[in-house]
Amino acid sequence: MSSVKSFKPLFDRVLIQRLKNAEVKTSGGIFLPEKVTSKVNEAVVIEVGTGRRAGSGFAAPLLKKGDRVLVNELPAGEKIIVNGIECEVLSENEVLGFMGN
């Protein structure tokens, strides 16, 4: 994992930050450790590339900064640290969908 000050993805890649799991508590009041609970699939788009290549130009990206998206449970992209925040760089086609703001 690398640490960078600022990051702008290229082409159809997006920089996302996964949202953290809230503590999971059973109905009996027992807190479950992170290992037992499923990973959060929700993330926020931090930065977006210029778009994918199309002919002699670029097709505009579908996502924009601030979009809340659903991604695979397992990390699919490259993990990096930007300004002290753990992020992932994914291809736009690895994003499952986005949720309305």
Condensed to tens digits (0 to 9), the pLDDT of residues 75-89 reads: 677 888 888 888 899
φ, ψ dihedrals at 56, nearest 5°: -95, 5
In the chain the domains, ranked by start, together with CATH numbers, are 2-99 (2.30.33.40)
Residue 23 has pLDDT above 70, yes or no: no
Q: What is the pLDDT of residue 14?
A: 92
Please count the other Cβ atoms lying within 10 Å of the Cβ belonging to residue 78: 13
CA distance 40 to 71: 9
Arithmetic mean of pLDDT over the chain:
79
Helix residue ranges per DSSP H, the chain: none
Q: Is the pTM of this model over 0.75?
A: no
Res. 59: pLDDT tops 60: yes
DSSP-assigned beta bridge partners for residue 68: 44, 99
Distance between CA atoms of 19 and 14, rounded to whole angstroms? 15
